[in-house]
Amino acid sequence: MQIVTIKDIARVCGVSVSTVSRAMNGHSDISRKTREHILQVIAESGYVPNNNARNLKRLEARAVALLVKGMDNTFFQKIIDVMEKEIRERRYSCILQRVEESEDEVELALELVREKKLRGIIFLGGKFDHPKESLERLTVPYVLSTSECRNGFSGGGRVSVDNEKESFRMVEYLCSLGHRRIAILTAAPDDESIGRLRFDGYRRALEAYQLSQDPQLEVFMESGRDKYDFASGYRMTKKLLQRNTEFTAIYATSDTLALGACRALHEAGIRVPRDCSVAGFDGLEAGKYYIPSLTTLAQPVGEIGRATVSQLFRRIEKRKNSEQIIFEGELIVRESTSAYQSIKKGV
Amino acid sequence: MQIVTIKDIARVCGVSVSTVSRAMNGHSDISRKTREHILQVIAESGYVPNNNARNLKRLEARAVALLVKGMDNTFFQKIIDVMEKEIRERRYSCILQRVEESEDEVELALELVREKKLRGIIFLGGKFDHPKESLERLTVPYVLSTSECRNGFSGGGRVSVDNEKESFRMVEYLCSLGHRRIAILTAAPDDESIGRLRFDGYRRALEAYQLSQDPQLEVFMESGRDKYDFASGYRMTKKLLQRNTEFTAIYATSDTLALGACRALHEAGIRVPRDCSVAGFDGLEAGKYYIPSLTTLAQPVGEIGRATVSQLFRRIEKRKNSEQIIFEGELIVRESTSAYQSIKKGV
DNA sequence: TTGTACGCGTTATCAT
DNA sequence: ATGATAACGCGTACAA
């Protein structure tokens, strides 16, 4: 009795496999009595239908996948929640898969579409610079959420904030406070994703305020070592401090980086925001509870999540065309930033 | 050409399906020339083998599953990393699945075992109070990591810290600092999992120090609303403050709760640790970077992860019996706790 | 080295 | 209402 199959159940019940199948799947062309008997036997036997066989046979399932690159990113936590809920509300099942940094999410998507007979895909995170040929093979609707894509973008939809613009806004805000030496903590120089866009926004804001770009103020992640987390923000700020260059504000391209930065400043005896302002990006919950609470550019995760799912379903069920939806971020000013005080110049 | 199957490839290549199969699976009994040709055609065609069909045929795969309840729990992040790595090193693939709070992880495991021909399961988190009958149907080895289980526990192994004991240690430490009014932030009273054990440790420590238990000092999560996160710690501490009862230390049963608590105290003008000490549990990275950095009872996540995986494989490959492995936690004293100063008594 | 044919567990189609 | 049987796409024993 190692492996129980539908045949075993059929034999025990004295019916055919098709009748068992009907009982399980809630078909109507079966008598109440036999159905109940069968379900009873199933419950007692510990039989679990084999999904492989099911999916192999089924023509299409009510299911979509949510593929997340960089699942450890705290920022995704809430957005995943929202999306799962939205998907469930539409009575679809949601297959959530984390994809490794080195993995190719489109290849994975291709497999899943075949395997699970998926109706749509949501990609969360990643750079998404896939060749057109790969994307063209993806025959179901897909939406790219929160992340950017370089090459024009063919068939898929996209939902996100305008990272370059929002980044500009944040740096502009810091400039407007009177800061002129604004350091930035950002992704490795070879980053082709949001990291690059946020960096571009920073540079453009400096230009707009006629501040010259100073390499001494730019701290990049070391690829392979740093990522968007506390420890990296801490290390990068230490590095900045060692350069012995003057700065009165730090713009960190994520809230986690920003909080790590605050700690490093604290240890160096630099008070936030009195001696140095610190600003982040994302609008993480943690920043709200930190001391000092963190000024940030919050992404509307709820709206992004809902819009992503609703676009996907418009395309699945109503065959609408794909769209590029851009949401506004919100500049949330909290305790970690303040106006530049020339008194501080005594450094 | 909607769906490409192995037959299409065979037809295009002018060979039989078995030859294509051999080419894909790297069998040796095939000429280099035909193999290369076939692989070439596959690459061009965008063919993706159907895993359902594969798993249906395969007798057993080199795969185990990692089922996580409460994936949003920051604490699991690192341990998942460790486990995935350990599993990969053994050349097994790791199927990572989050399980909803309301879902039954054992049922899910049962499905997966059949579906993916799994060789073993790791359960992370959850209360795991499953009836014996369910567990007995689980024929592959499984290990319960980081969480507790009430009813004796039949076939599975377990790896964790002794939550009750470590909790005792932390509260004992606070007592040793001279604190006599120690508040606790903990899970809902009906919790049957680690929440209850940590609470028990707290109570036992009070007893050991001949301090009486005071309901005024106990703040429980509101079920459905609170969980182990910043916001809950914040809310619960606000609640505590409203009670207008005196306390000189807060023991939060998770680091996230502790950090939320710090913020609430800060807003009430209570300085940490000068006016009130705060201690957490888990050893999260965030606590290290907070200001003040957080005193905590760190769980050895690396060791727990490694021991979990290695036990699982001892049982899969060497048919060893299941074990209960208990690791020591580490009391990490940082800035958020200090000795009780009677001066403060001016409250 | 290659091809033929069967079976994995299930659902769907057609009879009955 | 129920049963027999053909797929679903692939791996593999066996034959060639």
pLDDT above 70 as % of chain B: 96
Residues 6+ apart with CB under 8 A from A327: A159, A160, A161, A299, A300, A303, A304, A307
Q: Please name the amino acid found at residue A307.
A: A
Look at A134 and A82; give whichever has higher pLDDT. Answer: A82
Is B234 in Cβ contact with A110 (below 8 Å)?
no
Q: What are phi and psi of B240, to 5 degrees?
A: -60, -45
Q: What is the DSSP letter of B141?
A: -
- Confidence (pLDDT) at A255: 96
Q: What average pLDDT does range A24-34 have in this prediction?
A: 91
Q: How far is CA B52 from CA A99, B56, B127, in A?
A: 20, 6, 32
- Confidence (pLDDT) at A193: 83
Q: Cα(B97)–Cα(A66) distance, rounded to whole angstroms?
A: 12
Look at A143 and B115; give whichever has higher pLDDT. Answer: A143
pLDDT digits (tens, 9 = 90+) for A124-171: 988 788 888 788 888 899 999 988 776 556 678 999 999 999 999 999
- Confidence (pLDDT) at A151: 59
Q: What average pLDDT does range B172-195 have in this prediction?
A: 94
On chain B, the residues whose CB falls within 8 A of the CB of A270 are none
- Report the residue from A72, A233, A291 with minimal CB separation from B263: A291
- Confidence (pLDDT) at B7: 92
pLDDT digits (tens, 9 = 90+) for A250-277: 999 999 999 999 999 999 999 999 999 9
- Confidence (pLDDT) at B159: 95
Identify residues of A whose CB sits under 8 angstroms from chain B CBs. Answer: 2-3, 46, 48, 50-53, 55-56, 72, 74, 77, 81, 96, 98, 107, 110-111, 114-115, 133, 137, 139, 229-231, 233-234, 259-260, 262-263, 266, 285-286, 288-291, 293
Query: Which of A57-71, A197-211, A240-254, B35-49 is least confident?
Result: A57-71
**Protein residues bordering strand C (Cβ below 7 A):** A 3, 5-7, 17-18, 21, 24-25, 47-50, 53-54, 56-59; B 14-19, 22, 29-31, 33-35, 53, 56-57
pLDDT digits (tens, 9 = 90+) for B66-98: 999 876 677 888 899 999 999 999 989 899 988
* Residue B182 pLDDT grade (very low, low, confident, very high; cuts 50, 70, 90): very high
Among chain A residues, the shortest Cα distance to B258 is held by: A289
pLDDT exceeds cutoff 80 at B344? no
Residues 6+ apart with CB under 8 A from A224: none
3 state SS of B188: coil
Query: Which of A188-202, A321-335, B67-81, B190-204 is least confident?
Result: B67-81
Among A6, A52, A94, A230, the strongest candidate for a mutation testing the B interface, having the largest count of B CBs within 10 A, is A52
Mean pLDDT, chain B, integer: 91
pLDDT digits (tens, 9 = 90+) for A198-249: 999 999 999 999 999 999 999 999 988 998 999 999 999 999 999 999 999 9
pLDDT exceeds cutoff 70 at B2? no
* Residue B347 pLDDT grade (very low, low, confident, very high; cuts 50, 70, 90): very low
pLDDT exceeds cutoff 90 at A46? no
Q: What average pLDDT does range A117-129 have in this prediction?
A: 88
Q: How far is CA B307 from CA A52, A64, A318, B76, B161, in A?
A: 32, 35, 51, 15, 12
- State the first-to-last Cα distance of chain B, in angstroms, to the nearest integer: 79
pLDDT exceeds cutoff 60 at A333? yes
- Confidence (pLDDT) at A103: 87
- Confidence (pLDDT) at B151: 59
Q: Nearest nucleotide to A22 by CA–C1' distance?
A: C11
Q: Cα(B35)–Cα(B19) distance, rounded to whole angstroms?
A: 8
Q: What stretch of H or E contains B82? A: helix B74-89
Query: Which of A113-127, A272-286, B289-303, B332-346 is least confident?
Result: B332-346
